[in-house]
Structure 1
């Protein structure tokens, strides 16, 4: 088996299927002309070899990376000029990816990760753009007559390790320049938007690398997850608590940049390579350490390292009673600040020294609850809420416990985990706990972030914006606060303000969570920055594999850039992963709290073009069989509706009183609600869907294979029924 190191160029035609569908003959003629007049001569001029041609793309091998990049640049610049005279819908555009890697040679063909990476990079490129790997960049920088913009490390599908990615800048004025990392770039990527809002409450949201010339000249620190040396995995929650509190204390210092929790915990359990951490997280200093808890004793080791020189600026070991844990955290924070040459203000000193609670048992319950909450799993949320309650009962003045409880309960409400806590109770509890936390400590940021997201879902837009700004004012570097502000401004129709909040959040977390990346992707979508939207959505998908909530949104920017095949594939995959419940009606209902309905239309129009069905499980009704409003009222009101629901055909019934008071029951759901007719639609309204009316048509079943005579469909159900009075 022959192997060799080579430069691989992968190219494809943007929207090829659409172009062929609209004008097959004309598209083929234009593609042939492109190849004959531009592509083939350019490849030949730069000494490339065409390995294979596909209908919509090509794989080309070069002995030199510089030749590959220059060839790609000539093709893309020339195509941009050629397209100026073309109708937009008929323009032929290429996406190109370039990698320098090891390949397997078999005859005239080449295989392996070297080829696969080039193909994945091509998928990251914008229409008319070029993306290259870090290995290719290292050889081509300053030599290819182009500029580069770093996209940092990316997780590429079916590639084991992250790959450094750079976008090629074709503007001649950028030649030879290396531009700062895209601010949306990081190291990696029921109720739809509401579930994501719920997750957003529980996340934090890039610090620019400290070496960039325009970065603030002040210390930047990453506190890596401390190692648990207790010999007991059950003590992990306590060790994580030490790390979390150190991050929180240092983040309160005005003259220090701290990387958010989400980014540093990506390194948990991994070997520490300081150079990689400095590059990936954009920091000058790293804190690392360990915790050993045995009986009533704790031992904490910690050290502060200058990653540029490798010098240890500070190190200490604390052997104390477990009851002194807050004193240990206070001393660590102050000593690290002193080692960095910071002079703390009196308020900063007091804030760090103030323990969250004087009750160690309450603190222990709080740490356990936080560990459970961060999983986001339905079963663990029951545990989290119970432990938060225990912490509050032991110390009614424990503000952080109330704040974390509010965050967890809002997540339960927004995720509609009714088996954890019923919707109305969850909503009230979240508001109450957030208010209690602020009454105990008005300087806390997270309760305001929780209130902001809940208020925007409740369509209290100005209150939501005010709450989000309060959260941000208590911590500009607080990612949770910035992403809450972005979310609130987005749904309030203030897209520029939402984008500004995302950019601020991105400066403090190089490894955004899947939810934060989703929110950023949606903000970029409304900004018409489709390249960054695709990048964010793809990272959200890759950061939460198998979750349909993070697959379907890719269809939005894919449609807008002409990648209709990719958009349809995203919708189909999301529909499959969400068991057939992903539909336009669900998106219309779940995004009902957009202040500007044109924003909602901008989403629904793209999903419709990508082939999303109107109703769940792909249901389609015959308009000839559709009931009018009067017919619906006479059939449904005051009746018992008995039948079955999709997809399991399990029994279901709906009891509707003459006044509209109703109850619906199936094998998986039991709810009380109000039922009414609106125009020619039957509507259900309850605490679900945040009080919105869920409406849909009713059809006769002329040739029903069973006893049911009608079918009612809305955003969440297809209900086949017959009425009895």
Structure 2
């Protein structure tokens, strides 16, 4: 909703009080200082560097602190009262008149949509503008590789550089729901890149991150920032989409909205109840659109996650394999996540590890910065005993997104690799950490049982086996060996011997 003409504000500087249309407002000290400085300079654009220098004086603070204060002020005095000037700073526009007509809104695409605005050059060196713009262009290119997103081209967003804008207006004009902003600061020989993801309509901050490094290593810093940001923004937006959809009435649900609701469950390790609810949502989505590739991929991901906790059986998991085959049969598909889900389904419970890896390689070529694609590839390589490649993919996934909710799955994979290398103590420590981050994972418990048995800790092995049996009461040695995707002969033999030693039936 577009704000009317900005309200009348009264700053009582000596008392540090703010009145909006005659009413006292609760305002934080930093927010008051930011508003006071903007008010003193109304009529001109105030750079972010100038605000940071004057409001925070000698304190070394991140640009995200300023972003938080601007968001708080917009809630108090209206979003239109403070205009954003991409790549520069902010301008107080209390005297501005409301437009005769609101900007014409472009329809939102049928997938999460975002625009990356030009970053602010806060280094104090105008000669670095080219470097700042290059970083933004690279980030747009990386985000464009994520098939689940609709990303506005750099040629469109760079036309906004240096102009006073309202984020909600930009969202409507470009037809996007999310905006990425940022700035680059320099302190001596060090650079700091601050990035934030906000919802265009509300200005709500969804995600922010800081990257820093030596100026001499700017290109390595740039590459790391682009890769990590692309990896982190993907789950942040999908989570925001799920929360947004939860607020919509059920009568307006579409196949897309049904998929959005199912996404958090499908991308995790659900229990039986959550699995069945999400499966029904995805079935409805496919009934509405039988050709919806994302729904097919999510159905595969849902069965993968549920099998990882043995909430379902291998036989139940295989029910989604026809959908995986449909995804892989279409050579035109450019959705890396759908290819990942289909490929890993083949590798995990389809008995086709090599074919699954072929699909995962396609997914990695399309999006080399996806946590889920890298982690799935790591597991698929580990099934074949390709330890070095598996480790590389697990570690890269964890570097790109160290706070991903599925980080425990990656650590579980690393623990298995440590066992294969004979580093049993490290395997136990990594497994215990993985179990804390992702309780109830079959693979983690199996590694703990086998590793404790291998190192002579039979009591501990039996304790983990009890948890194991509670998770899968019907577990037998033959049942496991028949269905396991692992193809490493020595590992299979160790599992068989360990299971027998802790009392798991034949």
TM-score grouping bracket, smaller chain normalisation: 0.3 to 0.5
Larger Rg: 1
Question: Where is the helix percentage greater, Structure 1 or Structure 2?
Answer: 2
TM-score of the two chains, using structure 1 as the length reference: 0.35
